[in-house]
Amino acid sequence: MKKFLFTLEALLVTCERQEAEIKKELIQIDRRLEEERFLLECLLTETTELRNIWRTKMAAGVNPMSLSQFDQCFNRLREQQESRKKAIEEIESERTMCQSRLRKAMTETKALSNLKEGQLEAHMTEATREMEKEIDEWVTGRKGPVVGFGG
């Protein structure tokens, strides 16, 4: 009986490696996205805290210099928030493309795996048929006696 050899084994291994690399890339993208969302949340919290301070100062009466400082702080926070939102959008777009590449790689890997399973099944069926044929020949006496048996 011949040993089973999948003709596209090298391609299957390459596809599996590619799939694993894309999964790692997706994990890194998710981490970056999580970091950016955390930073945005911190900026939003800082803005809320600054608004509370501003309300307290307004109730107590505030001088024009303080208003200017608050305005600068609010503008800075707004710019940083917009920057983070833009970064999040870019990372989400990158994530979507990576997910698409992963789906394609997984589909290719699965197709090759199915092909391998089919070839293995065909090989096993052929091997079983050959063994049954050989056994049948031995039983019916079409083959000579087995060396080392009998006397």
Kindly list the distances between the CA atom of residue 38 and the CA atoms of 3, 33, 97, 99, 119, in Å, as whole numbers in the listed order.
Answer: 55, 9, 22, 22, 50
pLDDT over 90 (residue 142): no
Give the predicted TM-score (pTM) of the model. Answer: 0.73
- The angle at the Cα of 121, spanning 19 to 130, to the nearest 5 degrees, equals 145
Asked whether residue 79 is assigned to any structural domain, the reply reads yes
pLDDT band at 11 (very low <50, low <70, confident <90, very high): very high
Asked whether residue 48 is assigned to any structural domain, the reply reads yes
Instruction: Tell me what the mean pLDDT of segment 13-39 comes to.
Output: 97
Instruction: Tell me what the mean pLDDT of segment 114-140 comes to.
Output: 89
Asked whether residue 149 is assigned to any structural domain, the reply reads no
Asked whether residue 4 is assigned to any structural domain, the reply reads no
Q: What percent of the chain has pLDDT over 90?
A: 63
Q: What pLDDT does residue 106 have?
A: 97
CATH number of the domain at 83, please.
1.10.287
Asked whether residue 113 is assigned to any structural domain, the reply reads yes
Q: What is the pLDDT of residues 31-71, one digit of tens each?
A: 999 999 999 999 999 999 999 988 888 888 877 677 788 88
What domain count does the chain have?
A: 1
- Looking at this protein, which amino acid is placed at residue 118? G
Cβ distance 6 to 68 under 8 Å? no
- Can you read off the two tokens belonging to residue 66? 């303080």
Q: What pLDDT does residue 86 have?
A: 98
Asked whether residue 147 is assigned to any structural domain, the reply reads no
Q: What pLDDT does residue 58 have?
A: 80
Asked whether residue 148 is assigned to any structural domain, the reply reads no
Cβ distance 81 to 43 under 8 Å? yes
Q: What is the pLDDT of residues 100-113, one digit of tens each?
A: 999 999 999 999 99
Domain containing 35: what range? Answer: 9-140
d(CA 128, CA 136): 12
Q: What pLDDT does residue 151 have?
A: 47
- The angle at the Cα of 11, spanning 9 to 16, to the nearest 5 degrees, equals 95
Asked whether residue 66 is assigned to any structural domain, the reply reads yes
Q: What is the DSSP string of 24-91?
A: HHHHHHHHHHHHHHHHHHHHHHHHHHHHHHHHHHHHH---HHHHHHHHHHHHHHHHHHHHHHHHHHHH
